Structure 1
Amino acid sequence: MDLSQHAADGHQRLTAETHENARWWSFSTMGRAIVRNYRVWTSATRRRAMAEAYRPIVRGFLLPGAAYYFLVTWLHWRDESGTNLLILGGISLLTAVSYTVFRWGLLPAKRTSLQRLEIVGFVTNLLMYSNVVAYMLLNFEEQKLIYFVLMAVVFSTTGVTLRTTLTSVALSIGSLFWFSGQASPEVASQFVFIGLATSFASFGMASLLRKAILRQIDARLLADQLASRDSLTGIANRRSIFSRIEGLVEEQKPFWVGILDLDGFKSINDIYGHAVGDHVLCEVVERLKLRHKEGIDFGRIGGDEFAIVIEGGPSGAEVEAFGNSLIDDISREYDLQPLQLSISGTIGFAHFPTMGTTARQIYEKADFSLYHGKQFARHHSVIFTVNQDKEMRESLALERALREARMEEEFHLLFQPQHDVAAGRVVSFEALARWQSPVLGPVRPDRFIRAAERAGLIQQVTRVLFGKALDALDLWPDDITVSFNLSAQDLADRAFVFSLVAQVHGRAIDPARIEFEITETAVMKDIAASRVLLEDLSAAGFKIALDDFGSGYSSFEYIDQLPLDKVKIDKSFVRKVTDSATSREIVAGIITLCRNLDLKCVLEGVETEAEMSTLAPLAPQLIQGYLFGRPMPQRDVLRLLLKPERPVDDASAA
């Protein structure tokens, strides 16, 4: 599959499209997709469904049929002799044995092909027919002409296909007419009339039964289509995609699985409502469909997550380029008059069988690759690598321990003081998360925070730690504040952030004593939504601090766009001030900028007297570092607050 050429073709088709006004057609989109799939059902699909419907009918007839012909064999043995016994008994015994073999051998309870079922049904009818014809040829009895009528009725229900039904019924009625010639004229005329009536009745019964079964099949197939399609966009849903992946694994066909996550979509839902969000999702699907071709399938597996299945063996470079072209497509502006909206995406890919032997393994590795991409290569496609494999195993072990953790007992906070240089005292503490796992021992915060984000547990962790921060704040003097870090996922969930606000109001704590600390990484996913949320927090009385200032490429942009109260200069500059004139000038410039903008400025990572001597002429306002206090438990915070003039440098407190 030439994915690069396919990507180019799709791009040309996309750029050729004209922008349209907002179209609210989510249900009609699904309807069109379902009708389209209904029309392209293959004959093989319907044949399999026909076999499933007729198999219990044929199997249900064979068991009593076998018992009946064993009885007939015994009656022949009792009533016949010589050649008649040999012929009639042999045919009836063959029929009984054949029915038994068909029932348990050729037609098992599980899946059977329609062709096999048709052959078995026709042979079953022929064996029954042979018994009656043989008996009438050897022992003609007028009254037993009725057997042909009964056979026609039976054949009308056991004929699997229309051709076998017509053939069997015609054979039975034709034989009835032929043998009627040997009966008296009165009896013959009666059976001719009965035969004609039976013909119409049998064909009518066969048609009605077949029509009912076909309707049931179509209804079931349509229900399956509904169950396998996403109700909003009309493309395959999660169940359908996983079924597709599992089928490819069973067939041992190589394929790629990609997981696409939209960046910036959640804020559209939050700000503009679900109607706008639904329209954007439908537009995303329309753009994905431009890349659709045989061997490439798309499905929606979550709110703003999509799966991509690429059959065959394209190279990793081709798949990565194809994924990037998809991201380029969905990153184009969405024209919803009067709104102009933008989103992007990140894709993680994994390959079968190179990167796993089961559907679950492949999906998990694609998902991990997506997570890795959102951390280090946002707005790009990422291929799962061997290096990520070790990281994934460690991450899964960490996630497992995190899911099993008793968070209230295992998680705690340490507090690092922020020292006001001019006042000569501590004015605030930063709350630092710590986890002492009974399984893994002490776990670094950066590791368990990332694991909690990946596992969807970060809000549970944040809620527990925030509650502990409020517990500590209750015991501090009213002029002491606490700085609490919010993760990117916390900040992306407006409802969750305001559940923290509710905790503050519920405890009657002054919001001005709480400072929410954010990083550039946390706000860069959607600066517009972050600004709205932070403005609301600021209006509610909370303080906002930007951490690690200077470490990112757009930190100055955030000073302009966000309602900040404090800026924390990244420790990488502070640690070089004694040796680097450039670092000193950068720090001095930021301090002056903050003073001019009426922002508090914190110097992080001040550890030595030499660093402090170099920084003192710059007139810093707040210092946070080992020189003025290491991270400490609550008991040491209280001890420090009782003796504010005495800095704490107790290494054992960490």
Structure 2
Amino acid sequence: MKLPSQFAFYKSWLDPVRQQALAEAYRPIVRGFLLPACAYYVFITWSHWRDETGLTLAILGSMSAITAVIYYLVRQHVTVGDRLTLNKLELCGLLVNMLMYINVVTYLLIHFEQSKLVYFSLMAVVFSTTGVTMRTTLFSVAISLATLYWFASGLPAELLTQYVSIGVATAFASLGMATLLRKAIRRQIDARLLADELAAKAQRLADTDMLTGIPNRRAVFEKIDYFISQKRPFWIGIFDLDGFKAINDVYGHVIGDDLLCRVVKRSAKLNLPGCTFGRIGGDEFICIVSGSQAERDIEQFGAKVIQAVSCPYPVGPMELTVGVSAGFTHYPSMGQSSGQLYEQADFALYKAKAHRRGQCVLFETAENEEMQQAIAIERQLREADLDSELFLLFQPQYSPSRQRVTGFEALARWQNPTLGLVAPDQFIRAAERSGHIRKVTAILFEKALENLADWPEDIGLSFNLSAHDISDHTFVLRLLGRIMQSGIAARRIEFEITETAVMTDLASSRALLEKLRASGCKIALDDFGSGYSSFEYLDQLPLDKVKIDRSFVRKVAHSTTSREIVAAVIGLCRKLDLRCVLEGVEAENEMIILADLQPDLIQGYLYGRPMSAKAAMNMIRAQSERRAAAAQTA
């Protein structure tokens, strides 16, 4: 039910925010009146000293002087006070009005002059503006006009009538002025309060993640900067969801957004003291833990969050599961600025995802040099002309039974003007961590297609996909689209993956690889034997080729166990109708032993080091010429 206007007014009057706004609006009015009023009573004091003598001088002179001093003191109080309440300002206004009233009444009691009765009307007009509230205004105007009638009551009837008319006109004018002034001030206050409310709402929106309702990146970093300015110790941690992108791609963004909201709700239920969670983008979250907890306590804290978030989420008839990895650093023992702390926590997170997935890793100050090098590489990845700086080398894969090269593996290289030749493992890791890996992959794949187009139809190309590439179905399908646009037969292209690239979400990876294989491309499992569960992937993934890790091949010359393992894998591949590549063959004595095992393909320095596109073309041409010569001889 809507309140009547007068009740709504009194309700708003009781609002502390509105009262303070009214005080701030009236403060300059009272302050502006007091300075000329003080000067006026200094002048009146001088006039009394000039015109009065004896007791009259003592009364009138002291009263005007005291009024001038009080006006000055009140002005100072009104000016200096940071938060002058409405009640205090109202009392100040009432004091100012009553001192003026008392001065006029005292003077007329001593020196009654009919012409000076008009002072009461002038005072009523002044009171209509200096009375801070309506009640003080009504009181001040009423007592001023009542005193006017009291003094005029002793005058002849004609004069009394005139003064009554003057009083009535003054009353209407004063009340009208007071009403208009307060209405204008109230409108100004309402507009300001509305603007403040909208600004506060905009600030809340600016500081809140629209999807999850928790603080966003901006708000979290403001809090971090505040803690640093206050020299308050705290831990900062970054949590990243493992496998979330695959869920987003397979089930859609609606399910993905719902999952993110559930992750936040589950984290909030932990009621972790002194902890603030925020979302900094995508499936990455940040938390601030105030205090100087021991490293062991933070590791347990991170493990508690990871365990809670990693439990399955029921969505309709199915259950979705995401993993979580975390990286933490501490202020001030590890970093000194918000930017440095974020980089350290992000570096620790990358360490977790690369080596201890699903766990919490703390940054170590000894890693600062490594981190700075990684940051320098990331900076160049953002700023460099990658189209011209990235290039490929090609290492041949040799078939002993056919005595010819059947294909090449494309190896990524980066020559940067600032950093020089950057090691592949360094810039690939940096590209994965900074989100540039898809750009790098796209550029290198385009260059690979350009070279493959110049090769004979019986020469194939192997191209490596990273874990981040595999997790993005849309990106991999774009690569497939480029193959179709190029006109190159898909059977000539082989995508190499590692077990670490598919282990996060085996089902999603299998679905993507099946699409690639259905298009005609081949799939190779790289570094076979370097992981603990490689044999599972032979059964679970749609593979065409297995590349035995060089750590086994290099031991065959002096390790019976390694030789038997290699022989067993070669035999297994034959039975499963998979091609098999032995990596890292560098010496003749290794090849002599391996020849007895009848390997399918060999890749290593013995048959060719990584070479330029031109050198690879020369090798292909020389091989074709030898085959042609052999055919003519036959």
TM tier relative to shorter chain = 0.7 to 0.9
SS at the partner of 2:407? Answer: strand
Distance verdict in 2 for CA 1:387–1:81, change over 3 Å: same
Q: Which residue of 1 aligns with 2:228?
A: 249
Q: Which residue of 1 aligns with 2:346?
A: 367
Distance verdict in 2 for CA 1:203–1:529, change over 3 Å: same
Aligned with residue 613 of structure 1, among 579, 585, 592: 592
Aligned with residue 100 of structure 2, among 127, 132, 136: 132
Q: Which residue of 2 aligns with 1:450?
A: 429
Aligned with residue 348 of structure 1, among 307, 311, 327: 327
What is the CA–CA distance in structure 1 between the aligned matches of 2:169 and 2:175, rounded to whole Å?
A: 9
Q: Which residue of 1 aligns with 2:440?
A: 461
What is the CA–CA distance in structure 1 between the aligned matches of 2:101 and 2:399, rounded to whole Å?
A: 112
Matched, 1:184 2:163: no
Matched, 1:240 2:219: yes
Aligned with residue 397 of structure 1, among 352, 370, 376: 376
Question: Any conservation in 2 of the 1:166–1:203 contact (CA below 8 Å)?
Answer: no
How far residue 315 of structure 1 moved from its aligned partner, in angstroms, is 1.5
AA at the equivalent of 2:363: F
**TM-score relative to the length of structure 2:** 0.82
What is the CA–CA distance in structure 2 between the aligned matches of 1:394 and 1:123, rounded to whole Å?
A: 68
Question: Any conservation in 1 of the 2:326–2:360 contact (CA below 8 Å)?
Answer: yes
How far residue 184 of structure 1 moved from its aligned partner, in angstroms, is 3.1
Q: Which residue of 2 aligns with 1:583?
A: 562
How far residue 582 of structure 1 moved from its aligned partner, in angstroms, is 1.1
Question: Any conservation in 2 of the 1:102–1:120 contact (CA below 8 Å)?
Answer: no
Distance verdict in 2 for CA 1:574–1:50, change over 3 Å: farther
How far residue 339 of structure 1 moved from its aligned partner, in angstroms, is 1.2
What is the CA–CA distance in structure 2 between the aligned matches of 1:312 and 1:48, rounded to whole Å?
A: 35
What is the CA–CA distance in structure 1 between the aligned matches of 2:227 and 2:192, rounded to whole Å?
A: 31
What is the CA–CA distance in structure 2 between the aligned matches of 1:362 and 1:417, rounded to whole Å?
A: 45
Q: Which residue of 1 aligns with 2:8?
A: none
What is the CA–CA distance in structure 2 between the aligned matches of 1:181 and 1:345, rounded to whole Å?
A: 86
AA at the equivalent of 1:383: L
How far residue 425 of structure 1 moved from its aligned partner, in angstroms, is 0.5
Distance verdict in 2 for CA 1:148–1:589, change over 3 Å: farther
What is the CA–CA distance in structure 1 between the aligned matches of 2:386 and 2:23, rounded to whole Å?
A: 56
How is 1:550-565 mapped onto 2 (pairs within 5 angstroms)? 550-565=529-544
Q: Which structure has the greater CA radius of gyration?
A: 2
Aligned with residue 57 of structure 1, among 5, 25, 36: 25
SS at the partner of 2:281? Answer: coil
Question: Any conservation in 2 of the 1:259–1:370 contact (CA below 8 Å)?
Answer: yes
Q: Which residue of 2 aligns with 1:528?
A: 507
What is the CA–CA distance in structure 2 between the aligned matches of 1:301 and 1:391, rounded to whole Å?
A: 24
Q: Deviations over 1:356-379 (max 9, x none)?
A: 222232222222221221112211
What is the CA–CA distance in structure 1 between the aligned matches of 2:91 and 2:363, rounded to whole Å?
A: 56
Aligned with residue 417 of structure 2, among 416, 426, 438: 438
What is the CA–CA distance in structure 2 between the aligned matches of 1:280 and 1:48, rounded to whole Å?
A: 41
Question: Any conservation in 2 of the 1:66–1:97 contact (CA below 8 Å)?
Answer: no
What is the CA–CA distance in structure 1 between the aligned matches of 2:138 and 2:285, rounded to whole Å?
A: 56
AA at the equivalent of 1:466: F
Distance verdict in 2 for CA 1:61–1:200, change over 3 Å: closer
How is 1:84-99 mapped onto 2 (pairs within 5 angstroms)? 88=64, 95=71
Distance verdict in 2 for CA 1:212–1:354, change over 3 Å: same
Distance verdict in 2 for CA 1:192–1:67, change over 3 Å: closer
How is 1:317-356 mapped onto 2 (pairs within 5 angstroms)? 317-356=296-335
Distance verdict in 2 for CA 1:73–1:392, change over 3 Å: farther
What is the CA–CA distance in structure 2 between the aligned matches of 1:168 and 1:478, rounded to whole Å?
A: 100
Distance verdict in 2 for CA 1:146–1:440, change over 3 Å: farther
AA at the equivalent of 2:152: S
Distance verdict in 2 for CA 1:135–1:392, change over 3 Å: farther
Question: Any conservation in 1 of the 2:573–2:579 contact (CA below 8 Å)?
Answer: yes
Worse-matched range after superposition: 55-64 or 623-632: 55-64
SS at the partner of 2:596? Answer: helix
Q: Which residue of 2 aligns with 1:36?
A: none
Question: Any conservation in 2 of the 1:95–1:127 contact (CA below 8 Å)?
Answer: no
Worse-matched range after superposition: 606-615 or 556-565: 556-565
AA at the equivalent of 1:433: A
Distance verdict in 2 for CA 1:212–1:635, change over 3 Å: closer
What is the CA–CA distance in structure 1 between the aligned matches of 2:25 and 2:588, rounded to whole Å?
A: 92
Q: Which residue of 1 aligns with 2:490?
A: 511
Q: Which residue of 1 aligns with 2:255?
A: 276
What is the CA–CA distance in structure 2 between the aligned matches of 1:177 and 1:295, rounded to whole Å?
A: 64
How is 1:539-554 mapped onto 2 (pairs within 5 angstroms)? 539-554=518-533
Distance verdict in 2 for CA 1:224–1:440, change over 3 Å: closer
Matched, 1:227 2:227: no
What is the CA–CA distance in structure 1 between the aligned matches of 2:618 and 2:597, rounded to whole Å?
A: 31
Question: Any conservation in 1 of the 2:325–2:357 contact (CA below 8 Å)?
Answer: yes
What is the CA–CA distance in structure 2 between the aligned matches of 1:520 and 1:401, rounded to whole Å?
A: 29
What is the CA–CA distance in structure 1 between the aligned matches of 2:468 and 2:600, rounded to whole Å?
A: 31
What is the CA–CA distance in structure 2 between the aligned matches of 1:170 and 1:245, rounded to whole Å?
A: 54
What is the CA–CA distance in structure 2 between the aligned matches of 1:638 and 1:317, rounded to whole Å?
A: 57
SS at the partner of 1:465? Answer: helix
Gaps of 5+ in 1: 1-45, 108-112, 160-164, 648-654
AA at the equivalent of 2:445: F
Distance verdict in 2 for CA 1:175–1:631, change over 3 Å: farther
Distance verdict in 2 for CA 1:63–1:543, change over 3 Å: farther
What is the CA–CA distance in structure 2 between the aligned matches of 1:148 and 1:265, rounded to whole Å?
A: 76
How is 1:34-45 mapped onto 2 (pairs within 5 angstroms)? none
AA at the equivalent of 2:251: Y
What is the CA–CA distance in structure 1 between the aligned matches of 2:505 and 2:229, rounded to whole Å?
A: 41
What is the CA–CA distance in structure 2 between the aligned matches of 1:524 and 1:472, rounded to whole Å?
A: 32
Distance verdict in 2 for CA 1:450–1:646, change over 3 Å: farther
What is the CA–CA distance in structure 1 between the aligned matches of 2:575 and 2:127, rounded to whole Å?
A: 101
AA at the equivalent of 1:511: A
Q: Which residue of 2 aligns with 1:412?
A: 391
SS at the partner of 1:643? Answer: helix
Q: Which residue of 2 aligns with 1:310?
A: 289
How far residue 435 of structure 1 moved from its aligned partner, in angstroms, is 1.1
What is the CA–CA distance in structure 1 between the aligned matches of 2:460 and 2:186, rounded to whole Å?
A: 83
How far residue 226 of structure 1 moved from its aligned partner, in angstroms, is 3.4
What is the CA–CA distance in structure 2 between the aligned matches of 1:122 and 1:142, rounded to whole Å?
A: 27
Worse-matched range after superposition: 338-347 or 237-246: 237-246
What is the CA–CA distance in structure 1 between the aligned matches of 2:314 and 2:214, rounded to whole Å?
A: 22
AA at the equivalent of 2:385: R
Q: Which residue of 2 aligns with 1:18?
A: none
**TM-score relative to the length of structure 1:** 0.80
RMSD (CA atoms): 3.6
Q: Which residue of 2 aligns with 1:296?
A: 275
What is the CA–CA distance in structure 1 between the aligned matches of 2:127 and 2:273, rounded to whole Å?
A: 47
- How high is the sequence identity, in percent, across the aligned residues? 41
Question: Any conservation in 1 of the 2:513–2:542 contact (CA below 8 Å)?
Answer: yes
Question: Any conservation in 1 of the 2:30–2:130 contact (CA below 8 Å)?
Answer: no
Question: Any conservation in 1 of the 2:409–2:462 contact (CA below 8 Å)?
Answer: yes
Gaps of 5+ in 2: 1-14, 51-56, 109-115, 154-159, 627-634
Matched, 1:628 2:596: no
How far residue 402 of structure 1 moved from its aligned partner, in angstroms, is 2.4
Question: Any conservation in 1 of the 2:29–2:130 contact (CA below 8 Å)?
Answer: no
Worse-matched range after superposition: 268-277 or 86-95: 86-95
SS at the partner of 2:263? Answer: helix
Q: Which residue of 2 aligns with 1:7?
A: none
Q: Deviations over 1:84-110 (max 9, x none)?
A: 67864785587579758966xx47xxx
What is the CA–CA distance in structure 2 between the aligned matches of 1:547 and 1:494, rounded to whole Å?
A: 20
Worse-matched range after superposition: 416-425 or 222-231: 222-231
SS at the partner of 1:601? Answer: strand
How far residue 244 of structure 1 moved from its aligned partner, in angstroms, is 2.0
Q: Which residue of 2 aligns with 1:573?
A: 552
SS at the partner of 1:278? Answer: helix
